[in-house]
Amino acid sequence: MRTLAVPASLARAATGLLVVALGSCIDAYVPEVISAPTSYLVVDGFINGNGATRVKLSRTQNIATTAAPTPEARATVYIQGAAGARYSLRERSPGFYQSDSLVLGPGQYQLRVSTTGANAATYESAPVPLKVTPPIDKLSWRRVDNEVRVLLNTRDATQQTRYYRWKFAETWEFNSAYKSSLEYFPDKKVIGARTTPIYTCWRTEQPTGIKQATSAQLSQDALLDYSILSFSDRAERLKIRYSVLVTQYAQTAEEFAYYEQLRKNTEAIGTVNDPLPVQLTGNVRRTSGATTEPVLGYVGAHTVQQRRFFINRAELSLPADWAFDSPYTDCKFQNEDVTEYMPPLAVPKTKLFETPNYYIPIDYYYSVKTGDLAGYSGALAECVDCRLRGSITKPSFW
């Protein structure tokens, strides 16, 4: 439910922002709730039947506000089972609540929340059955029409799933534009051999779109070679090695419908042919005081299945000179001849590279005229230090 964490998307998902075009006239319809001072509770999370349940509580705000959503801190949050069992969630950081790792049995579950302070109230999600998610049988890939598609196979022999949703965590290895063999040491104010590697990094991204599918119209509860993710075959993520962790959830028909409408409200808008946004709240309600207050979010209950998948550059059989997309197309070298400073400097001293996180030395620079060691070559930090886009720590799964 990533969309629920973004104020603009929330307001759009909850109330809609409708632009109606009639002939040459365009009138913007802005519902009063967009600028209303009232803030509503946002419940972002699900009840995990085979692990830790993590829930984020926050508040809606004016759609024009650029600040992060206000977290709902110091709340009491717990899972309520149909048989009366309670499982508490502790606040790990403001607005973020987490339970112990749980293994829940069959039955119905709901989330209950008690807020404090000026917004003191009680809330609960509708009881929902715990859905058991079938495993991911296979992940593969296929190159089609200048893109790489990640394909998934899954099935439920009991015919009880039918509605599926996925989330992704993509990780890839990449290099900066230039490999630096030199490093500036500010404590000594000199340049020497590099001790901190900054050429190879790993970057992880979590796509925010909603991806789900149903087998409800099929004779078998199975999805075969279903495309869950795609990207250009020139994407930087394919240049060395790429991995994706796929998380699969089984859903009820109601939860599937909620996320499908949320997808339409937040992803399929912007043209006259797109569906009109509609009011969308979810299955959480206030149970004290103003019980008609809208609450945003849908709390489902399901077990989780995960599978990791890799693509190595060699598997793609691309030409050796294949041009991958790169964020470094504007990078260029900058040479520093330290002997040109007045008074003259000498290696290992520097002027250009002593400003932290601006220019980074790459190698020694030799005079074109004399061939003597004269200074250093370097480039902007964003072209040399891969840590600005990732981490130099290799992932444990790599």
Is the pLDDT at 134 greater than 80? The verdict is: yes
What's the whole-number mean pLDDT along residues 360-381? 95
pLDDT score of 13 more than 50: no
Strand partners, 223: 154
> Where does the pLDDT of residue 268 fall: very low under 50, low under 70, confident under 90, or very high at 90 and above?
low
Span 59-73, pLDDT tens digits: 988 777 778 889 999
3-class state of residue 184 by DSSP: strand
Q: According to the model, what pLDDT value does residue 65 have?
A: 76
The per-residue pLDDT for 10 is 42
Q: How confident is the model at residue 347 (pLDDT cuts 50, 70, 90)?
A: very high
Residue 310, strand partner residues: 243
Out of 36-45, 94-103, 132-141, 195-204, pick the least confident. Answer: 36-45
DSSP conformation class of 1:
-
Q: Give the β-pairing of 301-302 and 47-48.
A: parallel
Contacts 24+ apart (CB under 8 A), 21-29: 21/272
Element (H, E) at 130: none
Q: How far apart, in whole angstroms, are the C-alpha atoms of residue 112 and residue 142?
A: 44
Exposure letters 70-96 (e unless 16+ CB within 10 A, then b): bbbbebebbbbbeeeeebebebeeebb
Share of the chain above pLDDT 70, in %: 87
- Residue 23: what pLDDT? 40
Q: Which positions ≥6 away from 271 have C-beta within 8 Å?
A: none
| pLDDT one-digit tens code per residue, 316-325 | 999 999 999 9
User: With bands split at pLDDT 50, 70 and 90, how would you rate the model's confidence at 32?
Assistant: low
Which of 318, 18, 333, 349 has its CA nearest to residue 148? 318
Domain parsing of the chain, residue ranges: 1-131+251-304
Q: In the numeric block, which tokens belong to residue 95? A: 């607005």
The architecture in CATH of the region 1-131+251-304 reads: Sandwich (2.60)
Look at residue 359 in the predicted model and tell me its pLDDT: 96
CB 277 within 8 A of CB 36: no
Cα separations in angstroms, 163 against 70, 128, 249, 251, 258: 33, 15, 8, 5, 12
Whether 54 and 45 have beta carbons less than 8 Å apart is answered as yes
124, pLDDT greater than 70: yes
State what percent of residues in the chain have pLDDT above 90: 79
Report how far residue 87's alpha carbon sits from residue 95's, in angstroms, rounded to the nearest whole number. Answer: 18
pLDDT of residue 67: 82
Instruction: Give the pLDDT score at 270.
Output: 59
Instruction: Give the H or E element holding residue 254.
Output: helix 253-266
Furthest-apart CA atoms within the chain: distance in Å? 86
336-339 long-range contacts, Cβ below 8 Å, gap at least 24?
336/365, 336/375, 336/376, 336/377, 336/378, 337/365, 337/367, 337/374, 337/375, 338/374, 338/375, 338/376, 339/367, 339/374, 339/375
3-class state of residue 8 by DSSP: helix
